[in-house]
């Protein structure tokens, strides 16, 4: 059997601490190709680059790891990997992360980490987005590595479909403090943004975006937010189809189609 090939990417940049954890996990399962953004690309979701050139450069890496920095978005990284670098090679898994900060709830729609994972699934490849609920530069990724390895092993050894895409979030804590894994659904919360207005030394107006997360269902027992709050790793299967099926019949009636 040929050695597995794992594609690793992220949205925090090729030099981030989190991608080092993802590479360490991926290396346990086969050969690793890393294509990650040259600079941080958080919040890029499914963005692609169309109106400027993209630059790809090789980065020295350890044995069994082929690493590139790309000047585009996380989705650009996946595209150049599948359509250029690995065009004639079979990729067994896309691993995106480990992100610095949770991508639970509505964050899945904004996340460059999950944008890359979702893009991987477009190529019919099982894909996993990994996030640690800690934004700190000194975040401890030991628990993230441990649980990522368990989930990756399960997906590779007991596959449940080529286009599988998982949103995995790990709570803050030492491995012995994590209570286990829950398969759950996306929380329905959202961000309520606020813009802080400032002026630069030339008197020009500028803004900083900030905000607070609003949990619309804090008592729901089956969401990713609840799992993380109770010390569990949350695993949400993600699909691309955004159709609101529950409203289709009422919409036909509204449009006079029935």
What CA–CA distance (Å, rounded) separates 222 from 216? 13
Global pTM exceeds 0.85: yes
| Rounded Cα–Cα distance for residues 222 and 248 (Å) | 26
What does the pLDDT read at residue 78? 98
pLDDT < 70 stretches in the chain: 1
Helical H segments across 105-208, by residue range: 107-110, 112-122, 142-157
Checking DSSP bridges between strand 232-237 and strand 165-170, what pairing results, if any?
antiparallel
Give the 3-state secondary structure percentages of the chain, helix then strand then coil, rounded to 5. Answer: 30, 30, 45
pLDDT digits (tens, 9 = 90+) for 162-192: 889 999 999 999 999 999 999 999 999 999 9
CB 105 within 8 A of CB 224: yes
pLDDT of 62: 85
**For the stretch 207-227, what's the b/e string if a residue is b when 16 or more beta carbons lie within 10 angstroms of its beta carbon?**
eeeeeeeebeeeeeeebbbbb
**pLDDT for residue 242:** 94
pLDDT of residue 1: 54
């Amino acid at each position: 059997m040929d050695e597995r090939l794992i594609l690793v990417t992220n949205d925090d940049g090729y030099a981030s601490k989190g991608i080092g954890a993802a590479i360490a996990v991926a290396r346990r399962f086969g050969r690793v190709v890393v294509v990650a953004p040259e600079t941080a690309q958080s919040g890029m979701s499914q963005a692609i680059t169309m109106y400027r050139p993209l630059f790809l450069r090789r980065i020295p890496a350890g044995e069994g790891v082929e690493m590139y920095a790309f000047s585009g978005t996380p989705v650009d990284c996946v595209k150049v990997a599948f359509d250029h670098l690995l065009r004639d090679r079979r990729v067994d898994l896309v691993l995106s992360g480990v992100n610095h900060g949770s991508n639970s709830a509505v964050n899945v729609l904004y996340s460059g980490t999950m944008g890359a994972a979702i893009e991987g699934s477009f190529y019919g490849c099982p894909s996993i987005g990994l996030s640690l609920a800690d934004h700190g530069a000194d975040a401890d990724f030991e628990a993230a590595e441990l649980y990522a390895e368990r989930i990756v092993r399960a997906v590779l050894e007991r596959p449940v479909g080529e286009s599988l895409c998982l949103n995995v979030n790990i709570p803050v804590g030492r491995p012995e403090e994590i209570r286990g894994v829950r398969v759950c659904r996306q929380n329905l919360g959202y961000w309520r943004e606020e813009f802080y207005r400032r002026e630069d030394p030339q008197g020009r107006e500028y803004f900083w975006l900030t905000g607070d997360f609003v949990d619309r269902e804090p008592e729901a027992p089956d969401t990713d937010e609840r799992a993380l709050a109770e010390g569990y790793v949350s695993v949400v299967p993600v699909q691309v189809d955004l159709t609101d099926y529950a409203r289709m019949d009422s919409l036909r009636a509204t449009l006079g189609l029935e």
